[in-house]
Amino acid sequence: MNIPIVQTYTPPGFIDLGSGNPSLELLPLGMLKEAADRYFSAGDPRTLQYGAEQGNGYFLAALADFLSSMYKADVHPDSIFTTTGASSALDLLCTLFTQPGDTIFVEEPTYFLALDIFADHSVQVVAIPMDKRGMDVEKLEERLAEVQPKFVYTIPTYHNPASLTLTQRRREKLVDLAREHDFLVIADEVYHFLSYTQKPPQPMAAFSDQVKQVISINSFSKILAPGLRLGWIQAHRSIINQLTGCGLLDSGGGLNPFASAVVYHMIESGDLIKNIKKLKNTYQGRLDVMTETLDRCLPEAKYSKPQGGFFVWAQLPGIDTARLRKRAQSFKIDFRPGELFSSRNGLKESIRLSFSYYNPAEIENGIKQLADCLHMD
C-alpha cells in the first residue's frame, strides 16, 4: 500500500524525468539534525510563540549576511520578509496586490504551477514571449501600450522551464518600464544560487532597495529542502510594511517561526553554503549526463545547454508532445509536455526534462527509453 508522505508518487521501475523535485539523498537530514540539536540546546521557548510579523530577527540578520555575501552587495535585514516558500509568497502578493479581473503578465513559457495560483485569484494572464536573452522586453513594452498589468511575473535566472537567464540590460529595461508604468515586477529567483558554468547577473533583488516596484521572492526549497516550507521576500521597505500589516499575519503572527529558528543555525554554521556547493556539483554532473545522452540518443531534440537550475527545455519539431507523453507513460517514462507551461495553449512541440531527481545512471536510462519510445514507428 502507498501511504502518502510526499506530493508525487512514482511507482517502482518508472522514471519521471518531468519531476522538478530534489532527489531524496540530497535532502540534508544530517545537517538539519545538527541544526535542530543546536536549536533545542538553546532552549528558547519564544521561538515557539506567535512570531514577529517580519520573521525572527536572528534569522533575518543571518539571512541578510548570507545574501550580502552571495550577491556581493549589502542586503539589510529590514528588506527581508519571511515566507513559507515562493508559492505562498506569490499567493500572498496576489491577495495583497490584485483584484479578480486584473491583468498580470507572465513569460511564455512560465512556471506552470504559478498559473494555478493566478487562476485561484481570477486574474487575466497575458503572455510575453521569451528569446535567448529571457523575456522579450520590447514585446512587453508594446503590450503596455494596450493594457496596464498589476504585475509582471518573471523567473529571471535559470528559468523554469526554459532555463534562460534575463540579461542585465533587459533587467534594467524591465525596471525602467515598471517605474514608468507603475506596475510591480515579481521576480521569482528560486534558482539563482544554482549556477553551474557561469555567474548569473545580479539578482532582481538588487534593485528592490531603490525601486519600490521590484519584489524578489526566493526559497529554501531548492537549496535545502522543500518540506521546510521556508522562503523569503526581498523588497522595498514600503512593500515590507504592507506585507507585515496584512490580516494573515495579524492573526497568525510571522510565518514559520519554528523552521526559521532551525535554519538560522544552518546559516550560521556555514552548512547552508556547504550544501549549495554540494548541490551545484551533483546537479552539474547530472546535467552533463542528460545532455550527452540526449545528443547521442535523441539528436532531433533541439535545446540550449542550461547554465544552472533544474531543467532542459527541448523542442521536438513536428511532435505533439502531449500525445508522446501518453505513449511514454506506457514505457514507464514521463516528462512534462510544453503545453503545461503555456498560458495560451501553445508550446505543443516542447518538453521539460529535469535532472534534479535521478542519479546519472537513471537519467541515462530514462533518456534512452524516451528515445526508444519516440523512434518506435
Ligand X SMILES: Cc1ncc(COP(=O)(O)O)c(C=O)c1O
* Stretch of 48-56, 81-89, 91-99, 356-364 lying at the interface with ligand X (CB under 6 A): 81-89
Among the listed residues 87, 165, 208, 350, the single contact to ligand X using CB under 6 A: 87
What 3 state SS string does the chain have?
A: CCCCCCCCCCCCCCEECCCCCCCHHHCCHHHHHHHHHHHHHHCCHHHHCCECCCCCHHHHHHHHHHHHHHHCCCCCHHHEEEECCHHHHHHHHHHHHCCCCCEEEEEECCCHHHHHHHHHCCCEEEEEEEECCEECHHHHHHHHCCCCCCEEEECCCCCCCCCCCCCHHHHHHHHHHHHHHCCEEEEECCCCCCECCCCCCCCHHHHCCCCCCEEEEEECCCCCCHHHCCEEEEECHHHHHHHHCCHHHHHHCECCHHHHHHHHHHHHHCHHHHHHHHHHHHHHHHHHHHHHHHHHHCCCCECCCCCECCEEEEECCCCCHHHHHHHHHHCCEECEEHHHHCCCCCCCCEEEEECCCCCHHHHHHHHHHHHHHHCCC
| Cell 519564544 sits on residue | 46
Subset of 225-254 contacting ligand X (CB under 6 A): 226, 231
Considering the rule CB under 6 A, would residue 256 count as an interface residue with ligand X? Answer: no
CB of 86 to ligand X, least distance (A): 4
- Nearer to ligand X (CB atom), residue 98 or residue 356: 356
- Nearer to ligand X (CB atom), residue 216 or residue 293: 216
Distance between CA atoms of residues 306 and 324, nearest Å = 23
- Nearer to ligand X (CB atom), residue 189 or residue 364: 189
CB of 287 to ligand X, least distance (A): 16
Subset of 90-129 contacting ligand X (CB under 6 A): 111
Subset of 184-203 contacting ligand X (CB under 6 A): 188, 190
The site map against ligand X for 279-318 (x = CB under 6 A) is: ----------------------------------------
CB of 296 to ligand X, least distance (A): 28
- Nearer to ligand X (CB atom), residue 221 or residue 343: 221
Distance between CA atoms of residues 161 and 259, nearest Å = 28
How do beta strands 231-235 and 311-315 pair?
unpaired
Considering the rule CB under 6 A, would residue 221 count as an interface residue with ligand X? Answer: yes
- Nearer to ligand X (CB atom), residue 97 or residue 220: 220
Distance between CA atoms of residues 12 and 336, nearest Å = 19
Q: Residues touching ligand X: how many (CB under 6 A)? A: 13
- Nearer to ligand X (CB atom), residue 183 or residue 310: 310
Q: Are 117 and 91 in contact (CB under 8 A)?
A: yes
Considering the rule CB under 6 A, would residue 219 count as an interface residue with ligand X? Answer: yes
Among the listed residues 18, 20, 156, 257, the single contact to ligand X using CB under 6 A: 20
CB of 18 to ligand X, least distance (A): 11
CB of 270 to ligand X, least distance (A): 23
CB of 24 to ligand X, least distance (A): 16
Considering the rule CB under 6 A, would residue 160 count as an interface residue with ligand X? Answer: yes
What phi, psi does 265 have (nearest 5°)?
-70, -30
CB of 20 to ligand X, least distance (A): 5
* Stretch of 79-87, 168-176, 333-341, 358-366 lying at the interface with ligand X (CB under 6 A): 79-87
* Stretch of 82-90, 198-206, 240-248, 273-281 lying at the interface with ligand X (CB under 6 A): 82-90
- Applying CB under 6 A, the residues found at the interface with ligand X are 20, 85-87, 111, 155, 160, 188, 190, 219, 221, 226, 231
